[in-house]
Chains A and B, each alone.
Chain A
Amino acid sequence: MRNLVTSPRFRALRDRSGFTVAEVLAAVGILGVALGALLTAMGWGVTDVDAARRSTIALFLAEQRMEQIKAFAMNTAPNTGWGNVDAAHFPAEAYGTMAGYGDYRRTVVVTPNALIPPGPAASPFAKQIEVWVYYRPVKPSGLGPETAVSVSTVSVWR
């Protein structure tokens, strides 16, 4: 068998070592820049996903309150019913007061004598109901300004 160490082919292999260090340095540099950009982009994605999550939770909280109001309006127990659908019976809920949803606050706006067709004309049989849920979305730089989701309807006396 031939001596591998002294063979021309082995010498060629030994010649590559210097280039590999340069390559690795270049690669690390490129990867570093690229990964930085990618991580930043992923941060945006995570922010988008979280914004959607918070928005959806806010929507569900608004929907929940509206359904509670509708059920209350149909209730016949004392101190309930459509006539008692007002701000006093559905007071504002501040941050930290809704169990499990401390990052949200919720308000109900009831407008009596709502406009209703035909006409439209103000009717004592109709109430305009709005439910607003407020929250602060997460931004890459921290919490963003307060934003809100609302649902609205018109309910009539039955």
Chain B
Amino acid sequence: MTSSDTALRHGPRLANQRGIVLPLTLMIMMVLASLTVAMLSISGFEPLISQNLADATKARFAAEAGIDAAFNRLAGATNWTTLLANADANTGVLLFATAPMGSLPAGRGTYTVRLRNDSLAGDPTITGVTADPNATADDNGVLIVTSTGQVAGATKTVRVVMKRLNFLFPAALNFPGNEAETLVDTSAFEVDGRGWKMDGSGLDASCAPVFGISVSTMLPTTNAGGNEAVVESALSGNQKNNVLGKAQNPAQAGIAENTIAPDPTLTPQYIQSFIDKAKAVADITLDSTQANPVSFNNIGSSCTGDPTHDAADGNCWGSKNPTTGEINPKVVYIKGEADPTSMFHALTLGGTTTGYGILIVEDGDMIVNGNFGWYGPIIVTGKWVGIGFMGGGNQSVYGAVISNETASDPGFYEGYLNGNAKIRYSCEALNAALNARKLVSATNWKDLAPGE
């Protein structure tokens, strides 16, 4: 058989191909329709994907709003332990539940915030510090905050570590340095380590007492702890009775020699570490030189209690809102210069001075004249330094005072008290000052995966 015969053998099949174009057309149409449907399906998802992305982004900003709200709550709390009541070690406590963002409707996003203490074994890897032993007591000024933002069906969870700069004061008046030479020219003074309410209305039962006066346990190096005797010998019998606080010997009353004690808390490294961190975020930093020493009258008279106004007012060294009672503390740092004659006053205050926060004077004396009220810690530190309450008005400190002499200057005073100076230890004032917003930080941010 030839090839032509083979071709003709397919003749009947060719004849049966009538109408083949139509089926082919339908087939092509079906293929095209399938492709179109597939493309439509894919393109139909695009707006959904975009919407999901938008919801997730909005949820993240809602979660960040929750972190900011938590920061605000913690910065306004004088004691973080009070926020941890009944806290579970793993889940902590609920701080805010489904809170809207400001005045916006809930549909624009809500946040839920939980708070827990860093008491789990693995927490040091998150916080970078040693864990607290108890889930309901904050000892190290570190908490872990988890905020979940929600918008439509999207949720985002952010975890941060909240830290506050912690500092312990073992006494109302502290001489942790090389020397503790003290001169008291009055019998109307008061140094009280019992915890006072910062409005002066009485003792604060929630504030554990500390010593009236503390000195270093390891300084001076030639006579470790010897400054206790230096302070005690500077006070007459009657004057000693004006020193109150925690009893060195619990069997006896916390007064006079029994509340003037050496304490190991305030080491040079501990103080320097705190000062370095505090001055780095100081609201007010002033350089004081022997040629141009810093001197002010009536600090605080321009404060209004409005934090926005007071934050920008250099003559307002922290304030208290007269309506809400909210305290807006500041960190004030005065940098002096070392003067071996010890005559240099790095800071002199007069008139009527009121301040809230942390006042640090380095390398120079601090001299207080006139009326003076400070709520928080005062730290005078460096070489040839001292603090003098010179009288001439009502002078009080609610918080604690540190005079830390790092030089060796026999004959120059580290502390001078005259008039009716009162140094009253106050947990309330110290906590409020240490909650200066700049001393509270939100670190180690992490977006948590679902279930993490």
A27 to B109, CA, bound (A): 55
| Contact call B102/A116, Cβ cutoff below 8 A | yes
A45 to chain B, nearest CB (A): 3
Q: Is the CB of A115 within 8 A of B102?
A: yes
Q: Mark A1-45, 1 if CB is under 8 A from B, else 0.
A: 100100101101101100110011011001100110010011011
Interface window among B40-48, B163-171, B204-212, B378-386: B40-48
Any A CB within 8 A of the CB of B6: no
**Smallest CB–CB gap between B301 and chain A, Å?**
21
B50 touches A55 (CB 8 A): yes
Asked if B307 lies at the interface with its beta carbon under 8 angstroms from chain A, I say yes
CA A23 – CA B29 in complex, angstroms?
Answer: 15
- Categorize the interface residue count of chain A: 35 or more
Q: Are A114 and B4 in contact (CB under 8 A)?
A: no
Q: Contacts A52-B49, A55-B54 known; A26 to B22 CB distance under 8 Å?
A: yes
Interface contact B102-A31, CB-CB below 8 Å: no
CA distance A59 to B148 in the complex (A): 20
Chain A 131-156 interface mask (CB, 8 Å, partner B; 1/0): 00000000000000000011111111
Chain B residues near A53: list those with CB within 8 A. 46, 50
Question: What chain B residues lie within 8 Å of A31 (beta carbons)?
Answer: 25, 28-29
Q: In the complex, which residues 420-449 of chain B have their Cβ closer than 8 Å to any Cβ of chain A?
A: 437-438, 440-442
Number of A-B contacts (CB under 8 A): 171
Which residues of chain A come closer than 8 Å to B311, judged between CB atoms? Answer: 83, 157
24 CB contacts below 8 A, A to B, read A9-B11, A16-B14, A16-B17, A30-B29, A31-B25, A31-B29, A38-B32, A38-B36, A41-B40, A44-B40, A46-B43, A51-B46, A52-B47, A55-B47, A55-B51, A56-B53, A117-B96, A117-B99, A124-B306, A152-B62, A152-B102, A152-B109, A158-B438, A158-B441
19 extra A-B contacts, CB within 8 A, seeds A12-B15, A23-B20, A83-B308: A9-B8, A9-B12, A16-B15, A26-B25, A30-B25, A31-B25, A41-B40, A45-B40, A55-B50, A118-B96, A124-B306, A126-B68, A152-B108, A153-B61, A153-B68, A155-B68, A157-B307, A157-B311, A158-B75
CB-based closest 6 A-B pairs: A128-B102, A45-B43, A9-B11, A52-B46, A27-B25, A114-B102
